[in-house]
Amino acid sequence: MLKRFAAVLAFGLIGLNAWANSNPTEVVSQATNGLIEELKQTPEADRSEEMVKQLVMTYIVPAIDQEKIAMGAMGKYWRLASPQQRTEFIERFRELQIHTYSGAFRAFSGEKLNFESARINDKGDRALVQGQLTQTNGNVIPIDFKLYLSDDGQWRVYDAVVSGLSMVKTYRDQMSNRLQGTNPGNASKRMDALLEELKQEAEQKDDSQNAA
């Protein structure tokens, strides 16, 4: 459960806006601890799926560069997709992330995050923030966040590495495996099949939530 929470936390931070903050470490710390502080105010047993989903949409979704994450998740398949398919994938992938984040954050039970000072490259446009997620029982998982300085002068997270595993690569591997396993026809048909799968999965999760 701890590793799952760490991974989803990292997923949720990919693409976060700096909120006009010029310090990469503060960007990561403020974003993570802001959501965690909200969760602390509600006991785990009282956290409804809808409540946690709203927190995710408030703290995470508005700050995510949806297109950048989608491009990373699709990898080589992004350039093979049509503009319409790209747009739909961004939306479907957003739905997938919301459900994934909500499920993991609902189980938050007092984990703590600590971060070191950012290491910035010589050009001043890339940064690495190393951190540790500590569970109440003392177990520790390393989480490193990679940030870039965007054209508007904001630091944004573009990848996170949990216990040596890149979150962007994880998404890309998952999507690649699913695309390879769908319609054996051309790339466009495989993409359409994946989009339909993601749509059905989102609808099933929504129906399950509404029935709970």
Rounded to an integer, what distance in angstroms lies between the CA atom of residue 142 and that of residue 205?
A: 30
- Token pair for 7: 């991974």
The three-point CA angle 100-102-107 to 5° equals 105
Residue 187: burial class (beta carbons within 10 Å; 0-12, 13-18, 19+): middle
Q: What is the CATH number of domain 2-211?
A: 3.10.450.710
Supply the pLDDT for residue 81.
92
Cα atoms in the Cβ-side hemisphere of radius 13 Å centred on 123: 4
φ, ψ (nearest 5 deg) of residue 128? -125, 125
Domain ranges of the chain: 2-211
Categorize the per-residue pLDDT at 86 as very low, low, confident or very high, splitting at 50, 70 and 90.
Answer: very high
Each residue's pLDDT tens digit, 27-67: 887 777 777 888 888 888 888 888 888 887 777 666 567 78
Three-class SS of residue 165?
Answer: strand
Each residue's pLDDT tens digit, 151-172: 888 788 778 788 888 888 888 9
- Mean pLDDT of the residues in the chain: 80
